Structure 1
Amino acid sequence: MRVVLNPDACAGYAYCARFAPALFTVTDGLAALRPGLTELPPDLLAGAEAAAESCPMDAIDVLT
């Protein structure tokens, strides 16, 4: 499983960082995946899905 963030679609609402702070950071008003995150740990799946569902720009995909 992994999380994909489309930085071109991000508008900086930062819902992702609220729902999954272990996965996302917000810098200069735009979201980014935390460095070194290549695979989604199972214990972070629920947060990743909540972040993807809450993103008003549909900039996040959770690939299983």
Structure 2
Amino acid sequence: MRIEVDPDRCEGQAVCVGLAPKVFELGDDDEVVRVVVDEVPAELEKRARKAVEKCPMAALEIKE
């Protein structure tokens, strides 16, 4: 599975970074989150899905 970030919706609140720090990080400008893996490893999928679900701006989308 892959995750995409909508940069127009992301406000860099970093909820996803807190939930799945091996999948997400804040960009250099600390305003938009970046996905740091091309494919989410199976062992991180549960945390990544939770991060997508908890995003306050609904800026994350799962691509199967």
Q: Supply the distance in 2 between the matched residues of 1:30 and 1:4 (Cα, whole angstroms).
A: 12
* 3-state secondary structure, aligned to 1:50: helix
The one-letter code matched in structure 2 to 1:49 is R
Q: Supply the distance in 1 between the matched residues of 2:47 and 2:7 (Cα, whole angstroms).
A: 19
- C-alpha contact 1:48 1:62 (8 A) present in aligned 2: no
How many residues are treated as equivalent by the alignment? 62
TM-score, length-scaled by structure 2: 0.84
- What RMSD in Å do the two structures reach over aligned CA positions? 1.2
Give matches, 1:1-64, under 5 Å. 1-27=1-27, 28-34=30-36, 37-64=37-64
Gaps of 5+ in 1: none
TM-score, length-scaled by structure 1: 0.84
* 3-state secondary structure, aligned to 1:48: helix
The one-letter code matched in structure 1 to 2:14 is A
**% of aligned pairs identical?**
35
